[in-house]
Structure formats: structure tokens, C-alpha cells
Amino acid sequence: MTNKSLKNFNSLKFDYSCKSFIEITCYEDLFQLSKKIRESKTKYWILGEGTNVVILNDLEGLVIKNKLLGVTYNNNSVESASGENWDDLVKDCLQKKLYGFENLSGIPGSVGGSPIQNIGAYGVEVSNFIDYVETVNLDTGNLEIFNFEECKFGYRESIFKKFPNLFITKIKFSLSKAFKPNLTYESIPEDIEIDSADEVRKIILKIRNERLINPKEEPNVGSFFKNPVISKTLLDKLLLKFSDLKFYYVNENQYKVSAAWLIEKIGMKGYEAKDCGVSKKHSLVLVNFSQKSENIIHLSNKIRNEISKKFDITLEYEPTLIT
């Protein structure tokens, strides 16, 4: 398909188009596509549900929409095709009494996007459960499998961010048949009694609904920035000026600072700009009301510049920028 509008394929609802568009539903199509790409040297982008990407302009190339489906359960192992919806997988695992994903309830996007970002929420990261990630290298046509160590997971990081030529096809997870709630995150009430994973899921969904914004109501990609990791030297310096600084221990030399706290400290929570703004509910969420990306990028740069000047910290984008 040529000159396809991407408005309904990205949660910011930017109305850009791509020169060519194809949906992949099976391995055979994927291998054939890889061969065509190598022969034609076509520029391409892989797209899941578009909930963690910022498209910056019309794309002069091919957008590949991942529609690979299918989930296999074997004891406590789960193999999921990458095109499955993430939260549907979470619900299905809980119904089958497989535990671990419940704190990751409500995260938008596809299963294939989960290892790329190493999605995480409320004290849990998806990498805790990944055995391996299967991919097809579109530049070579080879099937490549990455074990846990080879995925090089970090905070909202993985090897897959560095190699956009890897089309993630399948992920194998190991879950638990014994329910053990993780209630360590500060947003989860301390005095609550939990009897089941379903209760944890309900609590997580309630917190998300109270703090975050449904992209169908106000276009957004969730958290626009990562929580920055800073040195202990900089932390000590900042604490002399800001005793209420919100931070978390990483190791003896590094600490993670709340990006939401930083944005609130520069007075930009609820800030309104041209056709976009910072959410009043959560300062990490930038909402968009424009057809194009210029305004929200200008706003994000303003936030980054103000924080750099005030705190000597550089915020990094959490979503992937596509251009």
C-alpha cells in the first residue's frame, strides 16, 4: 500500500504518511519481505501498536506493521508472538494462574515492544521474566535468538534499541505458579491486604487510571522522559539546595532521580503550550492536540533546557523518535 496515513497507527495521532505500508502476519511473509528489502535497499521502520513512538515527519520508506499472533503455554513457560497485545497477555496469564506480570497491568502496546523498552512499572520490569527473544534480522534474513544476557537489559534499555533492523517475532517468558505479591512501590498502599494476583491487578489499574491519561481521550505516549540516573556527587550537591529531592538508590555511585519531580520543580506540571501541554495529572505525560510533531517537540525541548539549567541534568526521551 502506498502513501498510507499513519494517524491511526501512533498514539500521539500525528497525521504523517509513509511511502509504503505492509502488515506482517506470518514468518513466510517476513522472510520474503527481508529479501525484497535487501534487493531494493529500501529504508524501513518496524511498528507495533505505536504507543511509544514519536513520528517526526512523513516517512520516505516502508512501515512494517507487526501482526504476528499466537500464544503457547507449557507449564510455567509462555511463548508469545510479538504482535499480541501486552495487557491481553497479562490478563490471560492471570486467568491461567501464572504470576509475575500483574504489576505490569495496563501498559499499552504490543508484546514485541516490551523487551525493546524493558517496560517496567510499580517495582517490576519485564526483563525479570524473559528467557529469550527471537528475531529476524531484516538486513540478512537470518533468524537470531537472544538469551537473557545477550538482550543487555537496563533501565528502559535493551540491545534492540540499538539494532532497529531486528524484527522481534517471539518472546519466551518464565512465570511462577506461586503467587507472591510485589507491593514495594511507594504508590501501592502499605496497609492493604492482598489475597490474589487479581487484586494486585485491580490496584495497579486503579492507580494508572488515577495518575495517567488514556491516549484515546488525550493523545500521548505515556512517560515522555526517563528518570535520569546521576552520580552521588551531583546528588549530594543537589540535596544542599533541594532537601525534598525525590531519588532512588541504584548503586553506591549512582542514583535515579524522579523526572516528574524535576518537571514539577520548574513549574511545568499542567503547563499549556500551542496545541499541546503537560498533563495536570502526571508531569511526565505530554499531551498532543496537533496533527504534526513540531509543537510537542518544542515543548519537550523547553522542559529539557529548563531542567538542564536548574539542575545540571539532561533528560532523555523514553519513546523512540522516528524520522
Query: What pLDDT was estimated at residue 195?
Result: 81
Residue 159 is given by DSSP the state G
- Per-residue pLDDT, 190: 63
2-66 matches 71-211 in fold: no
| Per-residue confidence (pLDDT) for residue 181, from 0 to 100 | 87
* In the chain, where the domains are located: 2-66, 71-211, 229-322
The reply to whether CATH 3.30.43.10 applies to domain 2-66 is: yes
Strand arrangement of the beta sheet that strand 272-273 belongs to: 272-273, 276-278, 286-288
Q: What are 127's three cell numbers? A: 526483563
pLDDT for the residue 49 = 96
* Strands in 6-74 per DSSP E: 17-24, 44-47, 53-55, 59-66, 71-74
- Is residue 77 flagged as an active site residue? no
Tell me if residue 125 is catalytic: no
Is 174 an active-site residue? no
Q: Exactly one of 80, 114, 134, 156 is catalytic; name it.
A: 156
pLDDT for the residue numbered 201:
95
The CATH code of the domain at 229-322 is 3.90.78.10
Nearest residue to 175 (alpha-carbon basis) of 90, 84, 101, 111: 101
Residue-level pLDDT at 179: 93
Q: What is the CATH number of domain 71-211?
A: 3.30.465.10
The pLDDT tens digits along the chain (323 residues) read 678 999 999 999 999 999 999 999 999 999 999 999 999 999 999 999 999 999 999 999 999 999 999 999 999 999 999 999 999 999 999 999 999 999 999 999 999 999 999 999 998 999 999 999 999 999 999 999 999 999 999 999 999 999 999 999 999 999 999 998 888 776 676 667 788 999 999 999 999 998 888 998 999 999 999 999 999 999 999 999 999 999 999 999 999 999 999 999 999 999 999 999 999 999 999 999 999 999 999 999 999 999 999 999 999 999 999 99
Give the neighbor-by-neighbor strand order of the sheet with 44-47. Answer: 2-5, 17-24, 59-66, 44-47
Q: Which of 223, 279, 293, 300 is catalytic?
A: 223
Q: What is the pTM of this model?
A: 0.92
